[in-house]
């Protein structure tokens, strides 16, 4: 009888359907090319490169590997994946029958003999909520999509971490470069102050020249103090990303030695839908919300719980252990909700509203991805052009400062010209270092915007 019950239940399961909409990716307005994409860029799409092929400084590569192994945000994201995987297992188990054992002792009084007696029974009990309308299958579908969304969220954390470590490292190297320049300029200014002091003491120059030379030294010293603070704080920031206590950070290539492409092949916008993990996360969230609509719709239809049991029973405990009568039962129900005060209909409408909100979020994430790439492309192009211009400007200021200093020593100009040209040269050199950082930062941000770095 139990075998017939299982066969009949399986036949009903095969005849079942899944109510609610099947997922289909929404139609999107995808441009033919990225705005600002260089026509002359050749080679494989930038985002197809592994991160260690994009960031070639060996010291930076080791820092990124440490971060990927120890960063707490990434470890928390990995834990979220584990939770989602176990939640999928819990949800999927609702599709399967439940089998349990029971032992029971019941004291009763019943005709024809109206006397108290104890009935001992035990056996196996099988229960199954038949998923005729696909409620549990849709719930499993939603849980599976949620798991995928969590995995893509982990990948988004991964590429964000790589970009943050690289940007912080480049910022640190920019501060190092500025500190080198400031130290060198401080030495030059001290020498200028020494010569000016001798000239003032000899009566060849006014005291204002000495004061102005002192001002140059003080400015360089103040800049060095600020840079030393920025270096320490950036090292602390990097240590946090590495999952370590604040400490010193190793250095590799100088900022101006960092390899990077002059023009970046961006690839096709349509590929971005598959490559960006945050876009994939938003789509899987939409898929889960779409499946939840089916779960809510199934609540309108009858529920079909099935139960079966097989065991033994006896009025005497000793006989039960030795010899007892076999008992079995098979039961099925059809439970149809009649009045729920509008709860089922409101839940269905809520599921649709949440599904529509998820679609809007997905569409927004796609547009945000295209915007990120366009901004990063123009940012990289213009920051590179600005850096080249500032390098030329710095060389011009350096020569101007040298000539002004020579003329001052020859008595052809005032110290004010020396002061002005030195300040211009100093400022331009610091701007040049920051321009190098901005170029490399935009380089990293473009790689991140294109969805590179999370493929293993």
The predicted pLDDT at position 375 comes to: 93
271-290 pLDDT, tens per residue?
899 999 999 999 999 999 99
pLDDT of 344 > 80? The answer is: yes
Residue ranges making up the domain that contains 442:
19-95+132-300+341-449
- Of the three residues 335, 351, 379, the one that is the final residue of a domain is 335
What is the rounded average pLDDT of the residues 195-212?
86
Rg of the Cα atoms in the chain: 37
Whole-number average pLDDT of the chain: 88
Instruction: Write down the pLDDT at residue 106.
Output: 77
Would 6 be classed as within a structural domain?
no
In the chain, the percentage of residues whose pLDDT exceeds 90 is: 54
Residue 329, φ and ψ in degrees, nearest 5: -150, 145
**Spatial distance between the Cα atoms of 37 and 266, rounded to a whole number of angstroms:** 6
Query: Which two three-digit tokens encode residue 5?
Result: 């019950």
CATH number assigned to the domain comprising residue 309:
2.20.200.10
Residues 44 and 123 in one domain: no
pLDDT of residue 320: 57
* Selection from 289, 14, 9 nearest residue 139 by Cα: 289
Residue 121 has a pLDDT of 78
Return the DSSP state at 335.
Answer: B
pLDDT of residue 232: 97
375 and 257 in a common domain: yes
pLDDT of residue 114: 60
pLDDT confidence tier of residue 173, bands split at 50, 70 and 90: very high
Domain check: are 295 and 306 in the same one?
no
Q: What pLDDT does 139 receive?
A: 94
Q: Last residue of some domain: 310, 335, 360?
A: 335
Joined together, the tokens standing for residue 364 give 């927004």
Answer yes or no: do 160 and 37 share one domain. yes
Together in a domain, 70 and 145? yes
* Mean pLDDT score, 213-224: 91
Structure tokens at 126: 């099988």
2 within domain boundaries = no
- Residue 226 contacts residue 38 (beta carbons within 8 Å): no
| φ, ψ (nearest 5 deg) of residue 325 | -85, 140
Residue 250 maps to a domain: yes
| Residue 80 shares a structural domain with residue 174 | yes
Instruction: Answer whether residue 345 shows pLDDT above 90.
Output: yes
Distance CA 191, CA 453 (A): 49
Residue 5 domain flag? no
Please give the pLDDT value at position 241: 96
Question: Residue 324: what pLDDT?
Answer: 58
The verdict on 83 and 179 lying in the same domain is: yes
CATH number at residue 149: 1.20.1600.10
Same domain, 277 and 351: yes
**Do residues 421 and 404 touch, judged by C-beta distance below 8 A?**
yes
Residue 205 lies in a domain: yes
**What's the rounded Cα separation, in Å, for the pair 238 and 245?**
10
Give me the pLDDT at residue 175, please.
95
For residue 415, pLDDT over 80 is answered with no
* Same-domain pairing of 279 and 263: yes
DSSP 201-270: HTTSS-HHHHHHHHHHHHHHHHHHHHHHHHHHHHHHHHHHHTTS-S------S-GGG----SS-----HH
| 245 and 172 within one domain | yes
Look at strands 325-332 and 116-130 and give their pairing. Answer: unpaired
Q: Is residue 456 part of a domain?
A: no
Do 124 and 193 have their domain in common? no
The yes-or-no verdict on residue 15 having pLDDT over 70 is no
Last residue of a domain, one of 287, 310, 335: 335
Compute the C-alpha angle 161/243/52, nearest 5°: 40
Residue 455 falls within a domain, yes or no?
Answer: no
Name the domain count of the chain: 2
pLDDT at 456: 58
Asked if residue 117 and residue 53 are part of one domain, the reply reads no
Let me know if residue 191 belongs to a domain: yes
Please say if the pLDDT value at position 347 is more than 90: yes
CA-CA-CA-CA torsion for 394, 398, 401, 403, nearest 10 degrees? -130
d(CA 176, CA 439): 16
Q: What is the rounded CA–CA span in Å between residue 284 and residue 303?
A: 29
């Amino acid at each position: 009888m139990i075998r017939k019950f299982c066969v009949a239940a399986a036949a009903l399961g095969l005849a079942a359907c899944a109510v609610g909409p099947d997922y289909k990716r929404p139609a999107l307005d995808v441009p033919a090319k990225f705005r600002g994409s260089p026509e002359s860029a050749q080679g494989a799409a930038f985002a197809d490169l592994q991160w260690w092929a994009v960031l070639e400084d060996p010291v930076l590569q080791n820092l990124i590997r440490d971060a990927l192994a120890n960063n707490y945000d990434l470890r928390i994201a990995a834990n979220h994946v584990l939770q989602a995987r176990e939640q999928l297992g819990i949800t999927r188990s609702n599709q399967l029958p439940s089998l349990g054992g029971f032992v029971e002792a019941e004291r009763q009084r019943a005709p024809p003999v109206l006397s108290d007696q104890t009935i001992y029974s035990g056996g196996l009990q099988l229960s199954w909520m038949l998923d005729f309308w696909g409620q549990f299958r849709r719930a499993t579908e939603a849980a599976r999509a949620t798991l995928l969304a969590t995995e893509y969220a982990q990948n988004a954390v991964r590429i964000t971490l790589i970009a943050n470590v690289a940007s912080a490292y480049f910022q640190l190297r920019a501060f190092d470069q500025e500190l080198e320049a400031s130290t060198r300029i401080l030495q030059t200014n001290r020498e200028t102050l020494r010569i000016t002091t001798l000239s003032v003491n000899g009566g060849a120059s006014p005291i204002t020249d000495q004061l102005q030379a002192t001002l140059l030294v003080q400015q360089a010293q103040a800049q060095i103090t600020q840079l030393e603070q920025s270096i320490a704080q950036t090292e602390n920031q990097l240590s946090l990303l590495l999952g370590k206590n604040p400490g010193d950070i190793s250095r590799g290539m100088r900022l101006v030695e960092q390899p990077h492409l002059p023009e970046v092949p961006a690839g096709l916008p349509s590929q971005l839908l598959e490559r960006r993990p945050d876009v994939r996360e938003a789509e899987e969230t939409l898929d889960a919300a779409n499946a939840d609509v089916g779960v809510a719709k199934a609540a309108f239809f009858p529920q079909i719980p099935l139960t079966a049991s097989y065991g033994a029973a006896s009025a005497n405990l000793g006989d039960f252990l030795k010899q007892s009568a076999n008992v079995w039962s098979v039961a099925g129900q059809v439970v149809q909700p009649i009045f729920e005060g509008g709860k089922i209909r409101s839940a269905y409408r809520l599921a649709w509203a949440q599904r529509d909100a998820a679609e809007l979020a997905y569409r927004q994430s796609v547009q945000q991805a295209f915007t990120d790439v366009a901004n990063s492309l123009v940012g990289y192009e213009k920051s590179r052009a600005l850096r080249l211009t500032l390098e030329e400007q710095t060389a011009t200021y350096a020569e101007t400062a040298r000539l002004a200093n020579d003329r001052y020593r020859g008595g052809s100009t005032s110290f004010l010209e020396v002061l002005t040209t030195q300040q211009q040269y100093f400022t331009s050199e610091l701007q040049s270092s920051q321009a190098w950082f901005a170029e490399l930062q935009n380089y990293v941000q473009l790689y991140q915007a294109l969805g590179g770095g999370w493929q293993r």
